[in-house]
């Protein structure tokens, strides 16, 4: 499963990329606004950090506006993917983008039917929002499983991008359920590396090493 960072914080993205296992980035105007930065300049900087897909979200609600914005975004870098909402206008824009060779991330997907339509419209990435479904008392991971079965049944090329990730548990379950990608906050990314037994094991190794050095000095 590919790992994307869901962030507009350039330093976080750079730290994640430096480890060598980052596959891409998703961001949106809200995340960039929190950083107090220019949208297009931030996207350009992010695209310079990773060679993987970088999702740039459109603001317009009509297909014409989405297409206009998307055509400007793809000028920023070759790895830009245009993010559009799961609406009729969004799917109209997705179909047009796809036919012209522009990759699309369909976002705000909350049902298997929506995921089916997004795949038929030619989406490169389809983003079910797990955490938001969980917040409503539904089980977000069931949607991943349904999407995996539907896409495999019909050979759809769309990749399932698990979004609205809240914890390392979400990441694990996404991988087990067959998601192609998980886009995760930097905090969760860092948590994935940690385990109490790993820390305990490292401490024990270092303690033993120190004891060995002291013994050698006595000889």
Q: Which amino acids are annotated catalytic? A: 83
Burial of 38 (C-beta count, 10 Å sphere; 0-12/13-18/19+): exposed
- For tokens 């824009």, the residue is 93
Query: Which whole-number Å values give the CA distances from 62 to 81, 85, 136, 148, in the listed order?
Result: 18, 10, 28, 29
Strand, helix or coil for residue 172: helix
Rounded to 5°, angle at Cα 172 from 136 and 17: 110
102: nearest Cα among 66, 130, 132, 136:
66
Query: Which whole-number Å values give the CA distances from 46 to 6, 11, 23, 61, 204, in the listed order?
Result: 12, 10, 12, 25, 39
29: nearest Cα among 60, 65, 57, 5:
57
């Amino acid at each position: 499963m590919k790992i994307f960072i869901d962030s507009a914080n350039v330093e976080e993205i750079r730290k994640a990329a430096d480890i060598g296992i980052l596959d891409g980035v998703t961001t949106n105007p809200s995340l960039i606004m929190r950083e107090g930065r220019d949208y297009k300049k931030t996207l350009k900087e992010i695209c310079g950090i990773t060679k993987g897909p970088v999702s740039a979200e459109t603001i317009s609600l009509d297909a014409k506006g989405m297409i206009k914005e998307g055509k400007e975004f793809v000028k920023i870098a070759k790895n830009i993917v245009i993010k559009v909402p799961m609406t009729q206008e969004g799917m109209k824009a997705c179909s047009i983008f796809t036919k012209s060779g522009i990759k699309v991330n369909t976002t705000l997907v909350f049902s298997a039917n929506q995921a089916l339509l997004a795949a038929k419209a030619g989406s490169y990435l389809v983003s079910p929002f797990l955490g938001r479904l969980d917040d409503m008392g539904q089980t977000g991971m069931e949607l991943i499983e349904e999407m995996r079965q539907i896409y495999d049944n019909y050979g759809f090329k769309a990749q399932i991008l698990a979004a609205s990730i809240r914890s390392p548990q979400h990441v694990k379950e996404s991988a087990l359920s067959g998601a192609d990608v998980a886009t995760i906050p930097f905090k969760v990314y860092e948590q994935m590396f940690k385990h109490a037994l790993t820390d305990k094991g490292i401490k024990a190794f270092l303690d033993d090493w120190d004891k060995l050095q002291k013994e050698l000095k006595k000889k």
